[in-house]
């Protein structure tokens, strides 16, 4: 029941927040988010490291079709759950005033939709029935659409529509593979959507390839990867920074989560067959995302495009099929969520002070707001993989695995480190150093509330930068089981 409670808390919170008086909506919404965080911590304490799928719940949903309400968490799912329950309260606190700004739909709607998105995301990360996963996978689009379309800058309605079209297209393609899995299970004499039942079926290679294509395309759109990434920059440019944190740091993780859970877990032969193409797409995403980010003037668009590069690293780590690469990819998922959340939120505070998101119209901020500049610098250096900050560890693990896979793959991936350092430091130089805008008002520094919002993210970046073992201890057993299902040993070779 623990996982059901974890999902129901924000879902009930969304409904209650939508109906309470406006003056109470913020407090009620934050209260439910805090309760969900507490439930997530309790869930983590009940998880036994190395024990496989745990805290399972299985109830028949549609018996004639073999559909179950089935939940469970392993190391991968647990970390995604914890990332979600930690980031949502931070987003709500950061958007405490922003959601009521002119043109937005109000705090009540923002808090309610955010809690609804949290509930659906938690359901995705804990679902162990393929059809249940698909239902909640699609259900995340409802609150996401209203968060993008209801809050942010001019043009957000178009960005929300573009986001929805891309995601629905990916979902429809995935539905074909979901149905295909059921047909395969029915032919095997045990019609079921349970992942555990499907993993036990020996699916022929040709069928696996067709099923893999449907799942991978959907997850590549969600992540996103080149060339189905164009919704990302438009969305982060027009949405609020809080919404961008929810989308890029939580919702987009469903893409790489799905690759690990379904592509590798259920379709191992097809995953290895597709590796050359996927690795090339990952490398293109890494380099293309970094190059395009360098040319951006809008700070939010720039941060969004850096995530295209980072997700390329994650996918590369997954598909080089080694324990180091897979562990680095999962660790990267967590570290990217923390670092990018910090970048978006600091950028949001900066934009509200300067009145612009244009990098060329900023400058000289560090003199008037050194604390804000400091947080911004740390976020940029984390994105660039500075040693001592947590993304460095995961990035190095993926690059080492890439070189083990092929020297050329590793060489291309290393180039992205140089590009990342360039866009991070150049962005900082143009926004924070030099003279300020002529006639511009002095930029006030972060207040104590804002510092308190950002401090946990900064602490996590430093803590896991020097001591990532608590995360790796949870990740490694999942990686071993995942690679074993693909027929790969601990060192990355065939078993």
Backbone angles phi, psi at 441, to 5 degrees: -70, 155
**289, part of any domain:** yes
Over range 180-198, report the average pLDDT: 90
3-state secondary structure of 70: strand
How large a percentage of the chain has pLDDT more than 90?
A: 66
> ∠218-220-224 over CA atoms, to 5°?
120
**305, part of any domain:** yes
**pLDDT band, very low/low/confident/very high, at 106 (cuts 50, 70, 90):** confident
Give dist(CA 234, CA 154) in Å, integer.
11
> What would the two tokens of residue 93 be?
């606190």
**299, part of any domain:** yes
Q: Please, how many CA atoms are within 13 Å of residue 275, restricted to the half-sphere of its CB? A: 18
Residue-averaged pLDDT of the chain: 90
* Better pLDDT: 75 or 495: 75
**3, part of any domain:** no
pLDDT at 445 over 90: no
Q: What is the pLDDT of residues 404-439, one digit of tens each?
A: 999 999 999 999 888 988 888 888 888 888 776 665
* Nearest CA-CA partner of 148 in 240, 232, 254: 240
Residue 223 has a pLDDT of: 87
Residues linked to residue 54 through DSSP beta bridges, in sequence order: 73
DSSP 380-411: HHHHTT-TTSHHHHHHHHHHHHHHHH-HHHHH
pLDDT at 104 over 60: no
* Nearest CA-CA partner of 471 in 403, 390, 399: 390
3-state secondary structure of 226: coil
> What would the two tokens of residue 153 be?
């800058």
Evaluate the CA torsion angle 125, 130, 131, 134 in order and state its sign: positive
Over range 127-147, report the average pLDDT: 94
Give dist(CA 35, CA 360) in Å, integer.
42
pLDDT at 494 over 50: no
pLDDT at 150 over 90: no
**165, part of any domain:** no
The model carries a pTM of 0.93
Residue 442 domain boundaries: 267-495
- Omega before 227 within 30 of 0, i.e. cis: yes
Q: What is the pLDDT of residues 46-61, one digit of tens each?
A: 999 877 889 999 999 9
Please give the DSSP secondary-structure letter assigned to residue 437. P
**275, part of any domain:** yes
> What would the two tokens of residue 183 be?
């047909």
> What would the two tokens of residue 137 be?
């996978």
b/e per residue 357-370 (b: at least 16 CB within 10 A): bebeebbbbbebbe
3-state secondary structure of 203: coil
- Omega before 235 within 30 of 0, i.e. cis: no
**pLDDT band, very low/low/confident/very high, at 95 (cuts 50, 70, 90):** confident
Give dist(CA 316, CA 410) in Å, integer.
10
Give dist(CA 343, CA 339) in Å, integer.
6
Give dist(CA 405, CA 190) in Å, integer.
38
**327, part of any domain:** yes
Evaluate the CA torsion angle 328, 276, 340, 115 in order and state its sign: negative
Give dist(CA 83, CA 248) in Å, integer.
12
Evaluate the CA torsion angle 180, 184, 187, 192 in order and state its sign: negative
Please give the DSSP secondary-structure letter assigned to residue 69. E
How large a percentage of the chain has pLDDT more than 70?
A: 95
Q: What is the pLDDT of residues 284-325, one digit of tens each?
A: 999 999 999 888 888 899 999 999 999 999 999 999 999 999
Residues 297, 358: contact at Cβ < 8 Å? yes
Residue 284 has a pLDDT of: 95
pLDDT at 88 over 70: yes
3-state secondary structure 410-424: HHHHHHHHHHHHHHH
Residue 357 has a pLDDT of: 85
Give dist(CA 79, CA 272) in Å, integer.
25
Residues 8, 119: contact at Cβ < 8 Å? yes
**pLDDT band, very low/low/confident/very high, at 15 (cuts 50, 70, 90):** very high
**Which residues, 6 or more positions from 186, have their beta carbon under 8 angstroms from its beta carbon?**
none
Lowest mean pLDDT among 32-41, 65-74, 165-174, 415-424: 415-424
Over range 355-369, report the average pLDDT: 83
pLDDT at 396 over 90: yes
CA 194 to chain centroid, in Å, comes to 24
* Nearest CA-CA partner of 402 in 325, 308, 323: 325
Domain count within the chain: 1
**481, part of any domain:** yes
> What would the two tokens of residue 280 be?
């090339």
Residues 252, 222: contact at Cβ < 8 Å? yes
Residues 307, 289: contact at Cβ < 8 Å? yes
Evaluate the CA torsion angle 119, 121, 123, 126 in order and state its sign: negative
């Amino acid at each position: 029941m623990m996982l059901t409670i974890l999902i129901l808390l924000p879902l009930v919170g969304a409904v209650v927040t939508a109906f309470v008086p406006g003056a109470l909506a913020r407090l009620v919404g934050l209260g439910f988010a805090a309760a969900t965080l507490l439930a997530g911590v309790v869930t983590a304490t009940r998880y036994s490291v190395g024990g496989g799928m745990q805290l399972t719940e299985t109830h028949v949903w549609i018996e004639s079709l073999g559909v179950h309400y089935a939940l469970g968490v392993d190391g991968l799912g647990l970390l995604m759950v914890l990332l979600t329950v930690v980031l949502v309260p931070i987003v709500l606190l950061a958007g405490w005033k922003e959601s009521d700004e002119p043109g937005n739909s109000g705090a009540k709607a923002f808090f309610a939709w955010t809690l609804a998105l949290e509930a659906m995301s938690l359901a995705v990360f804990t679902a162990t029935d393929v059809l249940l996963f698909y239902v909640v996978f699609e259900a995340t689009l409802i609150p996401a659409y209203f968060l993008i379309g209801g809050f942010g800058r001019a043009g957000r309605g178009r960005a929300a529509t573009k986001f929805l079209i891309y995601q629905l297209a990916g979902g429809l393609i995935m539905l074909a593979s979901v149905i295909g899995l059921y047909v395969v299970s029915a032919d095997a004499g045990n019609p079921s959507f349970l992942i555990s039942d499907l993993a036990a079926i020996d699916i022929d290679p040709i069928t696996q390839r067709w099923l893999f294509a449907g799942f991978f395309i959907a997850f590549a759109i969600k992540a996103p990867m080149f060339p189905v990434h164009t919704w990302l920059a438009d969305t982060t440019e027009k949405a609020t920074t809080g919404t961008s944190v929810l989308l890029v740091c939580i919702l987009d993780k469903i893409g790489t989560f799905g690759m690990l859970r379904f592509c590798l877990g259920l379709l191992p032969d097809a995953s290895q067959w597709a590796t050359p193409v996927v690795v090339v797409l990952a490398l293109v995403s890494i380099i293309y995302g970094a190059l395009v980010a360098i040319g951006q003037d809008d700070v939010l668009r720039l941060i969004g495009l850096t995530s295209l590069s980072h997700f390329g690293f994650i996918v590369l780590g997954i598909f080089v099929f080694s324990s180091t690469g897979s562990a680095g990819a999962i660790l990267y998922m967590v570290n990217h969520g923390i670092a990018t959340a910090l970048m978006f939120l600091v950028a949001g505070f900066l934009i509200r002070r300067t009145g612009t998101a244009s990098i060329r119209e900023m400058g000289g901020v560090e003199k008037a707001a050194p604390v804000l500049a400091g947080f911004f610098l740390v976020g940029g250096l984390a994105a660039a993989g500075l040693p001592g900050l947590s993304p460095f560890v995961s990035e190095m693990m993926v690059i080492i695995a890439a070189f083990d896979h092929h020297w050329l793959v590793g060489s291309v991936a290393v180039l992205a480190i140089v590009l990342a350092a360039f866009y991070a430091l150049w962005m900082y130089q143009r926004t924070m150093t030099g003279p300020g805008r002529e006639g511009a008002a002095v930029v006030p520094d972060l207040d104590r509330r804002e510092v308190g919002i950002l401090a946990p993210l900064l602490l996590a970046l430093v803590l896991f930068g020097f001591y990532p073992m608590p995360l790796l201890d949870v990740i490694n057993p999942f990686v071993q089981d995942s690679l074993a299902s693909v027929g790969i040993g601990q060192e990355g070779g065939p078993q």
